[in-house]
Amino acid sequence: MHIGLIIYGTLDTVSGGYLYDRKLVAHLRAAGETVEVVSLPWTNYGRHLAHNWSRELWRRVENGRFDLLLQDELNHPSLFWLNRRLRGQVPLVSIVHHLRCSEARPAWQNWLYRQVERQYLASVDGFVFNSETTRRVTEGLVGKNRPFVVATPAGDRFSPAITLAEAVAKAQEAAPLQLLFVGNLIPRKGLHTLLDALATMPQSDGRLAVVGETAVSPTYTRHIQRQIAHHNLAANVTLHGPLPDAPLADQFARSHLLVVPSSYEGFGMFTWKRWLLGCPPLAQRRIRRFTKSSTTAITAFLSPPMT
């Protein structure tokens, strides 16, 4: 079977969603299928909408003569209208990690995104969901009249790097609290919230390692750099960029806490089984049990008790 996969950028992009797509492609190829990646350029949402009328994209899909066309749902603004022309010519299956209109932003913006996303979701023939939550949210938007499979991420590519005794010893260290943030630098991941919380702590109390691609949203990356400078956190925060598996596993092993201040995650792959590396996760859902203010909650959680 000749299968096409439409994504933005390259399949090697460092993120949980792209890791999921890579694993899916590897599985299909191992099963003897041919998978051809159709890459669309990263740009802003408005320019992505223009892809629907791109003759070049139409020719690439038409000339591919695919038996099945997989589409990462992230690409929905580029495909919501184009799929109307494709339906009936090739089966269209969307890989849904989470919906853009589920993310935290002003209601009027999400209303607009929801209109485009609903049209896209209604244009495909079936779905691959990464979680039951993603399935329920999607079906709440377009109904339950399409075939689907829920394929949650399985396994863990990191082997435990420390023993239980080492993890206990690390937790009892008197050294500064070693925090880890893993995620591309985009607003939804919430690094700005974590930096605001870190700025309220004595500078000797905490260190933060940030692992993630800085080029996905240059505007947000510049905001983060300005925020670090404004709070005088240059000595406390290290932006590592994306890291290969071995040095990333080392970061987990040396860190006391993985902080995940994302406003929304469809699955949250990097929070899963991180305790096996002696680095328990603190995620947004838990934060909101403390207080409505994420910054205040993170600060309260990270600060030492008053004596």
User: Which domains does the chain possess?
Assistant: 2-150 (3.40.50.2000), 164-302 (3.40.50.2000)
Q: To the nearest 10°, report the CA torsion of 22, 24, 30, 34.
A: -90
Residues 250 and 277 sit within 8 Å (Cβ to Cβ): no
Rounded distance between C-alpha atoms, residue 92 and residue 271, angstroms: 31
State the amino acid at position 201 in one-letter form: M
Concatenate the DSSP letters of all residues of 24-53 into one string: HHHHHHHTT-EEEEEEE----HHHHHHGGG
Mean of the per-residue pLDDT values of the chain:
83
Query: What was the pLDDT predicted at 305?
Result: 44
> Which whole-number Å values give the CA distances from 102 to 99, 109, 297, in the listed order?
5, 11, 22
Report whether 232 contacts 197 (CB < 8 A).
no
Share of the chain above pLDDT 90, in %: 49
Amino acid, single-letter form, for residue 172: Q
- Contacting residues for 125 by C-beta, under 8 A, at least 6 apart: 87, 91, 92, 93, 146, 147
pLDDT, mean of residues 69-87: 96
* Closest residue by Cα to residue 134 from 103, 158, 163: 103
For position 291, what pLDDT does the model report?
36
Give the integer Cα–Cα distance in Å for 64 and 124.
Answer: 18
Give the pLDDT confidence of 214-246 residue by residue, as tens digits.
888 889 999 999 999 999 999 999 999 988 878
**pLDDT, mean of residues 285-300:** 45
pLDDT digits (tens, 9 = 90+) for 100-143: 998 878 899 999 999 999 999 999 999 999 989 899 999 999 99
Distance CA 169, CA 175 (A): 12
Cα torsion 65, 68, 69, 70: sign:
negative
* CB within 8 Å of 135: residues ≥ 6 apart: 96, 127, 129, 148, 150
- 164-216 pLDDT, tens digit per residue, is 676 667 666 766 888 999 888 988 888 998 999 889 888 778 899 999 888 88
**pLDDT of 10 strictly over 50:** yes
The overall longest dimension of the chain from CA atoms, in Å, is 71
Phi–psi pair at 293, nearest 5 degrees: -95, 110
Kindly report the number of other CB atoms within 10 A of residue 44's CB atom. 10
Global model pTM greater than 0.85: no
Handedness of CA 124, 125, 129, 134 (dihedral sign): positive
